[in-house]
Structure 1
Amino acid sequence: MLRRALYRQVKVSAPASTANLGPGFDVFGLALDAYSDEVELVLDSSSDGSNTTNTGSLTIEVGGSSMSTEHIPDAVEHNSAGLALLSMMNAYNIRDRIRVRINKGIPAGYGLGSSAASAVAAVKALDAMYGLGLDDLTLLRHAAQGEIASAGTVHYDNVAASLLGGFVIVRQEPLYAVKVEPPDDLLLCVATPKVDVPKGKTGVARSVLPDKVQLRQMVSNVANASMLVAGFLMKDTRLIADAMMRDVIVEPARMHLIPAYASVKRAALDAGALAVTISGAGPSILIIADARSGDIKDVVEAVDDAYSREGIDCYVKACKVADGASIHR
């Protein structure tokens, strides 16, 4: 049975996110209000429900800042939102012609869940447009298909954070996601160096990870990932920060890919930050402080100065944990 649209236009915004948080590789995600993407779906005026679902049934338009749109393809099969939408359209027999307008606010390719946000906004908009009433896990499955465009593989940490908001824990098989609200005193800062990001950067960042790890490394990361979860459940920002700093597998393998990482990390900690880690696959970094540590502005200034000393321009933003994707009809 062909699906008929309930609305001719639906707009959804979805927040940026950071993944891993140290020891939680491909498992932890955190939604950030620093940036967001917006996707608007518009039913083509000539659409009568008789068109077959293929790349011709979607037309993608990408807009936004140069840092957000660079390297973003408008070909459906190479676009995160496009792949996610095709997954849903094929699954639910949607054959209309749909125009997809993507307004990119999240810097693309910088480890802030840009592809995930577009995919999440797209599937949530399609769900609303056709009144499908899909549950969150089903939306996650379709949104994660969009990650193939940027990462070359399906992963759920960023899409879960962008869809649900808050701190999320994701198990891939069988798929399940849990959202936990953050402590009230959790302060965040995201630093994004303005450096050239190669195409396929996420794939490169994954390629440097070890195929095998020592048992003691695995035990350490499991223990610290568990402590980080406990920190969120107990609303203990300092426990979260302590655990986040103790990744012994992924960060050591990737830190050479992050410009000026060691010096910026040191500057942030000296200025009162509690923890610093790579945001997703980088090159952005995530910094944690709490209200008792003083003003996050001191950390922002210290990080900005540290990049300047290295001759690197950057965007440094204080931010908070974000709510999940939201509909704007």
Structure 2
Amino acid sequence: MATSTPPAFANTPISSSRGYNLRQNPSIPRFYTIRSFSQASNSRAAAKSSASDPSPVFRRVESFAPATVANLGPGFDFLGCAVEGIGDIVTVSVDPSNPPSTLSISSISGDQRASFSKLSRNPKFNCAGIAGAAVMRMLGVRSVGISLRLHKGLPLGSGLGSSAASAAAAAVAVNVLFGGLLSQDQLVLAGLESEKKVSGYHADNVAPSLMGGFVLVRSYYPLELIRLEFPSHRELFFVLVSPEFEAPTKKMRAALPELVKREEHVANSSQAAALVAAVLQGDARILGSAMSSDGIVEPKRAPLIPGMLEVKKAAVKAGAFGCTISGAGPTVVAVVDDEEKGREVGKLMVDAFMVGGSLKASAVVARLDRVGARVISSI
């Protein structure tokens, strides 16, 4: 299998035409803004793409998209980050047996049968299929049909952005198959079509899975994303402890309050601001403390995850800077700045899940994924 450096796709550094570096001084933390196209410019881009009906530049493209930690405590629905080492793989191929402009799913596999046995091969009801088909429409593909293979490295309903990883990997693979014509923000929009059907219109998983690093969703209408740069010389590790327990996102979202008190809003806003500042300054200690301080979402979701409170106490007692629910759960995430310390914290969190919730659990210590979804092979 030959490898190749693909054309511009989801990982490509943001150009000045798509966003801007707010400060050029290297001593000041950097962050970038990506804005979605306006409706008019989207229409023009779609018309241009449709007129060209791009031909595939590869026969097959394989891509990987990482797991994500959304919310990070007080950043509900507007802040998330990507983590290294675990994620989903999508392979897309030109398929002459498929009708032009269509996408089919030829196979779904996974590291564990439970991670894929419930998934549909109907592309209209599969996250990878929905996102891949959305990219084909954006490109205006009319003359070629493609098939897609999905390998799930992430369990379903884990709180690690499983659906978003599938969508991100598919969006990148299909885009690169046809020459990488779409921009990063368009790929996020394609991924959001998938998220909307599965768990609601929120970008705090799919955006960091595509873009890497920390991503702040400044606005949904129109979509505006800010990528936050955690300093490369600072260490940051996430201790991800996943119990053998499924917490469907829709169920966990249904537990949230419709209204919050003013003092709760002020407190959470303050902690969210501290979280963003800590990311830009590379301060893992403040990042963990702010992450642990959600007073709105976590108190409603924690009772739905057996042992969650005991696990959080164990993590902090063991030396973690902070601990909270990853996404909608049930995975619990703690933050440290030393990998060996992370392993110690993870072991005690696993024990706490058994003692406090009678649940078996596994722990992974992962670095921040600064790259996001990427092509791993093409031919």
| Number of the residue aligned with 2:148 | 100
Q: Partners in 1 of 2:332 and 2:114 — Cα distance?
A: 16
Check whether the contact 1:60–1:75 (CA below 8 A) recurs between aligned residues.
no
| Number of the residue aligned with 1:233 | 280
Q: Partners in 2 of 1:268 and 1:70 — Cα distance?
A: 33
Check whether the contact 1:34–1:317 (CA below 8 A) recurs between aligned residues.
no
| Number of the residue aligned with 1:11 | 62
| Superposition deviation, residue 164 in structure 1 | 0.9
| Number of the residue aligned with 1:144 | 192
| Superposition deviation, residue 52 in structure 1 | 5.2
| Number of the residue aligned with 1:249 | 296
Check whether the contact 1:80–1:148 (CA below 8 A) recurs between aligned residues.
no
| Number of the residue aligned with 2:353 | 307
Structure 2 residue 156 is matched with structure 1 residue 156: no
Structure 2 residue 74 is matched with structure 1 residue 23: yes
Q: Which amino acid aligns with 2:194?
A: G
Structure 2: runs of 5 or more not aligned: 1-50
Structure 1 residue runs of 4 or more that deviate by more than 3 Å after TM superposition: 51-54
| Number of the residue aligned with 2:178 | 130
| Number of the residue aligned with 2:93 | 42
1:221 to 252, 258, 268: 268
| Superposition deviation, residue 180 in structure 1 | 2.1
Structure 2 residue 230 is matched with structure 1 residue 182: yes
Instruction: Map 1:187-202 onto structure 2 (within 5 A).
Output: 187-195=237-245, 197=246, 201-202=248-249
2:133 to 86, 93, 107: 86
Q: Deviations 1:159-210 (Å, cap 9, x if unpaired)?
A: 1110111111113222122222335222210000012x26xx1111111111
| Superposition deviation, residue 18 in structure 1 | 0.7
TM-score, length-scaled by structure 2: 0.80
Q: Partners in 2 of 1:106 and 1:59 — Cα distance?
A: 18
Q: Partners in 1 of 2:100 and 2:254 — Cα distance?
A: 38
Q: Partners in 2 of 1:242 and 1:60 — Cα distance?
A: 45
1:296 to 330, 342, 351: 342
Q: Deviations 1:262-306 (Å, cap 9, x if unpaired)?
A: 111111111111111000000111111223x97222101111221
TM-score, length-scaled by structure 1: 0.92
CA RMSD of aligned residues (A): 1.7
Structure 1 SS opposite 2:205 = helix
Structure 2 residue 254 is matched with structure 1 residue 207: yes
Q: Partners in 2 of 1:52 and 1:130 — Cα distance?
A: 14
Check whether the contact 1:276–1:287 (CA below 8 A) recurs between aligned residues.
yes
| Superposition deviation, residue 133 in structure 1 | 2.1
Check whether the contact 2:65–2:87 (CA below 8 A) recurs between aligned residues.
yes
| Number of the residue aligned with 2:372 | 324
Check whether the contact 1:272–1:294 (CA below 8 A) recurs between aligned residues.
no
Q: Partners in 2 of 1:71 and 1:315 — Cα distance?
A: 22
Q: Partners in 2 of 1:304 and 1:221 — Cα distance?
A: 28
Structure 2 residue 109 is matched with structure 1 residue 63: yes
More deviation in 77-86 or 61-70?
61-70
Q: State how many pairs are aligned.
A: 319
